[in-house]
Amino acid sequence: MQRIESHACFGGTQEVWQHRSGVLGCEMRYGIYLPPQAARGDCPVLYWLSGLTCSEQNFITKAGAQRYAAEHGVIIVAPDTSPRGEGVADADSYDLGQGAGFYLNATQSPWAAHYRMYDYVVEELPALVDAHFPTTTARAVSGHSMGGHGALVVALRNPGRYRSVSAFSPIVAPTRVPWGHKAFGAYLGLDAESWREWDACELIIGSQPGAEKLSLLVDQGEDDEFLDSQLQPTRLQAACEAAGHPLELRMRAGHDHSYYFIASFIGEHVAHHAAALRG
């Protein structure tokens, strides 16, 4: 690994690291905030998954999460949203290709060669972070929009791996909305049945009796321009009610899809995860 940024921040350091990913077959970057407590001992880790068009920079420069991570003694890791570089497949649109990995493992050419963001965020990146930084085994996951979809899916597919999960404006039912149709059709092929394992609502509805039901915390802006067309949080609400899955869905009046929304409530999310990580 190579550290390419380091900034003093709220008594800790905000860093950016670059490394060669064997899973993705390219160079990758991720941001990591090390709170002041990390200088004295191991700390739990919150993974943040960003949305369409983002890199590791958006969250670490706009959300203001470092203040709360320093308060609670939580490391925050924010990876890029897709593989990148020469030889990595791309598209002309913002919602497919580089910057739009959708946190799944692609099966279709040309995407399958690099687009395995699920394996990267669940396995490779945590192993790398745990090997090089003072972490405990306690993990949590959160994200925004496409990254909210990713956070819900990786938590639901990996019972026991995360202590808590939350999301801002997540794509809760990608098999039912245009963003999902476009990405899943390209990455996974035209067999819509194969899409279900990457859809939070489908995972909840299809969960086995006795399976872990990790409580979901979701914040959604009522003035979000994508609310009705792409996000549709009422689908998640209906799925959780049908399956008896705990959900706290908070509709926030006046808020949109931007990082102004995330910055307004990120402190509450970090506190929520910190309580679970200490438990």
Q: Do the bridges between strand 12-21 and strand 43-49 make them parallel or antiparallel, or are there none, so unpaired?
A: unpaired
Catalytic residue among 255, 257, 269, 272: 257
12 φ, ψ (degrees, to nearest 5): -115, -155
Rounded-to-integer distance, Cα 271 and Cα 279, Å: 12
55 is catalytic: no
Distance separating alpha carbons of residues 163 and 141, to the nearest angstrom: 8
Helix (H, G, I), strand (E, B) or coil at 182: helix
Has 258 been annotated as catalytic? no
Q: Among 278, 252, 279, 247, which residue's Cα sits nearest to residue 266?
A: 252
Q: Could you confirm whether 257 is annotated as catalytic?
A: yes
- Within 10 A of 278 (CB to CB), how many other CB atoms are there? 13
DSSP structure string for 235-275: HHHHHHHHHT--EEEEEETT--SSHHHHHHHHHHHHHHHHH
106 and 115 Cβ atoms separated by less than 8 Å: yes
189-197: long-range contacts, CB 8 A cutoff, minimum separation 24: 189/107, 189/108, 194/107, 197/157
CB atoms within 10 A of CB 194: 12
Q: Catalytic residue among 144, 169, 224, 272, which?
A: 224
The one catalytic residue among 50, 82, 142, 145: 145
* DSSP annotation string for 37-103: GGGTS-EEEEEEE--TT--HHHHHHHS-THHHHHHHT-EEEEE-SS--STTS---SSTTSBTTB-TT
Catalytic residues: 145, 224, 257
